[in-house]
Copies of this chain bind each other. A is one copy, B any other.
């Protein structure tokens, strides 16, 4: 038998096919559950966003028969469109998860594909084997919550390992890495949920790889989240095609004109398929406390700390000096954002809302807040300089007041980082803050309970349906 490193795409597919849920460490499984709670909350919060609704309204005329639920609205559509729209909802608030080593947001593309597929599979299993024209239905039915959780974990693992294996040069070229790697994760997870064999799972990865795309130029606009949503849809499509016997390259990731060499500088095979089942990249996922670019989080922490500790009045603040990790100016250089989407990638805006409104939630990154005169005035007083000695979760901040006083602080590990993670309670609070306005408190709590207990759910489809506001009636 050849070394796993000789055929990394096939090796990865084989792992996805065979990985045993019982062999996954409890801490990793729990992290996957936390990722699920987080992404579902984000999707509920983003489902009624104007851009999400626009996407759905444009594509609805082409959408297929009801098989999967659109979160919150409860409308039902085909699984591919549901993956796209729910995936869009999951990321549009910029509040989702981050695998810090790669800056991939693994939750949205993988979870949106699997949630739609799980519901569809369950419905068609109930309707009879192969119902609704599905790929041959599995013998075991319906899809359990544990199946969903495990496939979600494996899909995230594939996305994050791929991101690590193609190195930082990929992102530096201008690729939106959640788009390019997310489609592989979604395909892998969907292949697992469909119980495809190794050959078809390899094909699914190939069909996904050749659809990989997404430009970083789209950051700050509607297409940024479209890159991520598409990854979920196309990954699911790849698995559906492979399930029917559509074929692809067996070495889509490693071939000379394959994914890693075309979109990056090559493939670190050891990073991709070394220590499979032992090293878990998906176990290193993190969750945002603030709905904006993650590189902004340290400076938000610092501004919130200072303004609250010293009860600083915005009108008395003369200037704010920030020493920041170089990525802050590279990714969030916008000093005068004109709308909510752009404000999520603006260091001046992030600091300004923390200082003016003493908060950095969904409302602080809305269109309205981007044009708030107090916030706009404060933005002009924010200065940032690069400090390459800082880690990406660190910041040094100094506020100078009109009366000459100065206040300084240094954040060592931003809230939500690997070394200062959101706890389970904080994740629950975040979920409720997002879900309560969408579903009402009672139904939001039920959805949250289902999400934390996903591994014990007999039927995974219940999760999506419990998140439709119409279910309240």
User: Which A residues lie at the B interface, using CB under 8 A?
Assistant: 51, 54-55, 57-65, 67, 78-81, 132-135, 173-176, 179, 206-207, 209-219, 221-223, 226-227, 230, 237, 240-241, 243-249, 251-252, 255-259, 261-262
Report the minimum CB–CB distance from A342 to chain B (whole Å). 11
A210 near B215 (CB under 8 angstroms)? Answer: yes
B226 near A210 (CB under 8 angstroms)? Answer: yes
B246 near A55 (CB under 8 angstroms)? Answer: yes
* A248 in contact with B133 given A61-B78, A211-B213 (CB within 8 Å): no
Report the minimum CB–CB distance from A268 to chain B (whole Å). 18
Cβ-neighbour of A213 out of B213, B247, B257 (below 8 A): B213
7 sample A-B contacts, Cβ–Cβ < 8 Å, listed by A number: A54-B245, A59-B80, A62-B240, A210-B215, A211-B230, A216-B257, A217-B262
Q: B residues within 8 A CB of A216?
A: 257, 262
**Complex formed: what's the CA distance from A6 to B444 in Å?**
50
**Complex formed: what's the CA distance from A223 to B208 in Å?**
10
B132 near A244 (CB under 8 angstroms)? Answer: no
User: What 4 pairs between A and B have smallest CB-CB spacing?
Assistant: A174-B257, A61-B133, A213-B213, A58-B244
Besides A58-B240, A173-B262, A216-B262, 20 new A-B residue pairs in contact (Cβ under 8 A), listed by A number:
A54-B241, A58-B246, A59-B80, A59-B241, A174-B257, A174-B262, A210-B213, A210-B215, A210-B218, A210-B227, A212-B213, A215-B259, A217-B252, A217-B256, A221-B247, A221-B249, A222-B247, A223-B246, A223-B247, A226-B246
Report the minimum CB–CB distance from A26 to chain B (whole Å). 36
**Complex formed: what's the CA distance from A174 to B266 in Å?**
13
Q: B residues within 8 A CB of A222?
A: 246-248
B64 near A215 (CB under 8 angstroms)? Answer: no
Cβ-neighbour of A62 out of B78, B212, B244, B258 (below 8 A): B78
* A257 in contact with B210 given A55-B246, A58-B244, A78-B64 (CB within 8 Å): no
Most chain B CB neighbours (cut-off 10 Å) among A79, A210, A227: A210
Q: B residues within 8 A CB of A58?
A: 135, 240-241, 243-244, 246
Most chain B CB neighbours (cut-off 10 Å) among A62, A175, A211, A248: A62
What residue of chain B has the Cβ atom nearest to residue A209's Cβ?
B215
What residue of chain B has the Cβ atom nearest to residue A258's Cβ?
B217
What residue of chain B has the Cβ atom nearest to residue A65's Cβ?
B61
**Complex formed: what's the CA distance from A281 to B214 in Å?**
27
A132 near B61 (CB under 8 angstroms)? Answer: yes
B63 near A64 (CB under 8 angstroms)? Answer: yes
**Complex formed: what's the CA distance from A81 to B81 in Å?**
12
**Complex formed: what's the CA distance from A211 to B213 in Å?**
6
**Complex formed: what's the CA distance from A216 to B259 in Å?**
10
* A248 in contact with B221 given A61-B78, A61-B133, A256-B174 (CB within 8 Å): yes
* A249 in contact with B218 given A79-B62, A212-B213, A244-B58 (CB within 8 Å): yes
**Complex formed: what's the CA distance from A256 to B216 in Å?**
9
Q: B residues within 8 A CB of A246?
A: 51, 54-55, 58, 222-223, 226
What residue of chain B has the Cβ atom nearest to residue A212's Cβ?
B213
Report the minimum CB–CB distance from A244 to chain B (whole Å). 4
Report the minimum CB–CB distance from A396 to chain B (whole Å). 28
Cβ-neighbour of A80 out of B55, B62, B223, B240 (below 8 A): B62
**Complex formed: what's the CA distance from A176 to B230 in Å?**
20
Q: B residues within 8 A CB of A211?
A: 213-214, 230
Cβ-neighbour of A262 out of B78, B81, B210, B215 (below 8 A): B215
A257 near B215 (CB under 8 angstroms)? Answer: yes
Q: B residues within 8 A CB of A212?
A: 213
Report the minimum CB–CB distance from A365 to chain B (whole Å). 17
Q: B residues within 8 A CB of A57?
A: 133, 244
Q: B residues within 8 A CB of A81?
A: 62
B257 near A54 (CB under 8 angstroms)? Answer: no
A59 near B217 (CB under 8 angstroms)? Answer: no
* A55 in contact with B230 given A64-B62, A78-B62 (CB within 8 Å): no
Report the minimum CB–CB distance from A255 to chain B (whole Å). 4
What residue of chain B has the Cβ atom nearest to residue A251's Cβ?
B217
